[in-house]
């Protein structure tokens, strides 16, 4: 098991980077505690794979250092790092059986046969592969092959960390849920440090204890799934996490009141935006807005209502700005105007994208 620290780490694929936009990873500091389960979450191109490849020694960073348990490993090649990796596509040997594939990383390290046998059976049990051990890998479905790939990543009990790069992308959606739960269980049993790259918020939130949200080469927030949901540090996090994401509304703020055009919303606490902020916005999740709950709510235009089967999403317009509102399945709105009210404790103020603490 390993504690991993990143110090002033940055990377540019350009030979002579001069400006921030030349960097795929902007300078960052981070600590991944021993035994923690972390997800690197963000949209395509935000730098997740670059960061993972640097930690696994496949890419050497332009700047900064990586420490495993306090030891500087920045210059070490992958083979000398005590890590396992699982990639997006299965990396297995088609001519071997499932058992031989699982045993391979241990055989390579000259682990005694009895210990190999015990560990392979243990991992096969975790992943529900016990009945398939004698089957040849060739001819198995893509799902099964990726399961074996996961098993190969998990089989070495002595690794300091396991790094996963979108390993469930090729997996059938139904099977994904099962594998996520299995991975979570495996992590709890093994207590190995796990870093998991994904652009799928559900995956990140179900697998990790701490989610690291990245945007444009930067870490914008590190938090538990609940923290990211309840207190997004940046409008991007609010928008990216949640379905639909957080509503972001242009506003003015003075003391404990926000103004949206001619309308006022009480903030419930005084908020002072930083001097010189160019853009003030309110953030409120669709879950924390009520329509027609009070007679003095702010009037909004109802554009349409979508039924998801479990709840409804009302698409409304406030002073020309689109908002989503989650309503119970049985709620009805008569007419095309509704009165909007918000749950004050979930109303956030943002200055130039960043959360302003109230
Ligand atoms: P995805 O989810 O699509 O894999 P990502 O978040 O993992 O995206 P990276 O693959 O790390 O993002 O890419 C970050 C940035 O670096 C992107 O702008 C990408 O085009 C660029 N990049 C990645 N690999 C290379 C490379 N080998 N050479 C040059 N630029 C690269």
- Tens digit of pLDDT for each residue in 7-23? 999 999 999 999 999 99
Is the CB–ligand 1 distance for residue 11 below 6 Å?
Answer: no
pLDDT band at 174 (very low <50, low <70, confident <90, very high): confident
Are 102 and 151 within 8 A, CB to CB? Answer: yes
pLDDT at position 173 is: 87
How far apart are the C-alpha atoms of 243 and 313, rounded to whole Å?
10
pLDDT at position 8 is: 98
Is the CB–ligand 1 distance for residue 48 below 6 Å?
Answer: yes
pLDDT band at 294 (very low <50, low <70, confident <90, very high): confident
pLDDT tens digit sequence for 63-116: 999 999 999 999 999 989 999 999 988 889 999 999 999 999 999 999 999 999
pLDDT tens digit sequence for 146-167: 999 999 998 987 888 999 999 9
pLDDT tens digit sequence for 236-246: 999 999 999 99
pLDDT tens digit sequence for 304-346: 999 999 999 999 999 999 999 999 999 999 889 999 999 999 9
Is the CB–ligand 1 distance for residue 147 below 6 Å?
Answer: no
Q: Over pLDDT 70: what percentage of the chain?
A: 99
Distance 252 CA to ligand 1 centre (A): 37
φ and ψ of 231, to 5 deg: -140, 65
Query: How many C-beta atoms surround the C-beta of residue 72 within 10 A?
Result: 12
pLDDT at position 323 is: 98
**What would the mean pLDDT of 254-282 be, rounded to a whole number?**
94
Is the CB–ligand 1 distance for residue 14 below 6 Å?
Answer: no
CA distances from 168 to 19, 50, 127, 156, 190 (A): 35, 18, 14, 20, 20
pLDDT above 90 for 126? no
pLDDT above 80 for 1? no
pLDDT tens digit sequence for 177-219: 888 988 888 888 887 999 999 999 999 999 999 999 999 999 9
Are 260 and 318 within 8 A, CB to CB? Answer: yes
Is the CB–ligand 1 distance for residue 12 below 6 Å?
Answer: no
**What would the mean pLDDT of 341-358 be, rounded to a whole number?**
94
């Amino acid at each position: 098991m390993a504690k991993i620290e990143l110090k002033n780490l940055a990377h540019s694929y350009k030979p002579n980077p001069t400006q921030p936009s030349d960097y795929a990873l902007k300078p960052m500091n981070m600590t991944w505690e021993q035994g923690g389960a972390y997800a690197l979450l963000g949209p395509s191109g935000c730098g997740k794979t670059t960061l993972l490849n640097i930690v696994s020694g496949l890419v050497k960073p332009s700047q900064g250092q990586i420490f495993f348990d306090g030891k500087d490993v920045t210059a070490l090649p992958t083979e000398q790092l005590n890590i396992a990796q699982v990639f997006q596509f299965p990396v297995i040997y088609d001519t071997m059986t499932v058992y031989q594939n699982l045993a391979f990383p241990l055989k390579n390290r000259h682990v005694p046969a009895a210990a190999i046998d015990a560990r392979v059976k243990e991992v096969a049990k975790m992943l529900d592969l016990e009945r398939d051990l004698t089957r040849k890998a060739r001819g198995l479905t893509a799902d099964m092959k990726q399961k074996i790939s996961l098993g190969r990543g998990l089989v070495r009990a002595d690794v300091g960390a396991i790094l996963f790069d979108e390993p469930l992308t090729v997996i059938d959606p139904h099977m994904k849920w099962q594998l996520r739960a299995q991975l979570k269980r495996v992590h709890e049993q093994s207590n190995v440090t796990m870093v998991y790259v994904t652009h799928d918020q559900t995956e990140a939130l179900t697998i990790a204890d701490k989610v690291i949200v990245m945007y444009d080469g930067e870490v914008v927030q590190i938090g538990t799934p609940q923290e990211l949901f309840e207190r997004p540090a940046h409008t991007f996090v609010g928008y990216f996490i949640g379905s639909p994401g957080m509503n972001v509304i242009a506003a003015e703020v003075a003391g404990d009141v926000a103004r949206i055009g001619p309308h006022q919303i009480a903030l419930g606490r005084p908020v002072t935006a930083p001097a010189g902020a160019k853009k003030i916005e309110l953030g409120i999740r669709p879950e924390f807005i009520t329509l027609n709950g009070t007679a003095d709510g702010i009037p909004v235009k109802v554009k349409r209502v979508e039924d998801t089967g479990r709840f409804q999403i009302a698409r409304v317009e406030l002073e020309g700005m689109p908002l989503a509102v989650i309503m119970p399945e049985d709620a009805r709105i008569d007419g095309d105007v509704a009165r909007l009210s918000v749950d004050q404790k979930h109303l956030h103020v943002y200055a130039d994208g960043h959360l302003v603490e109230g």
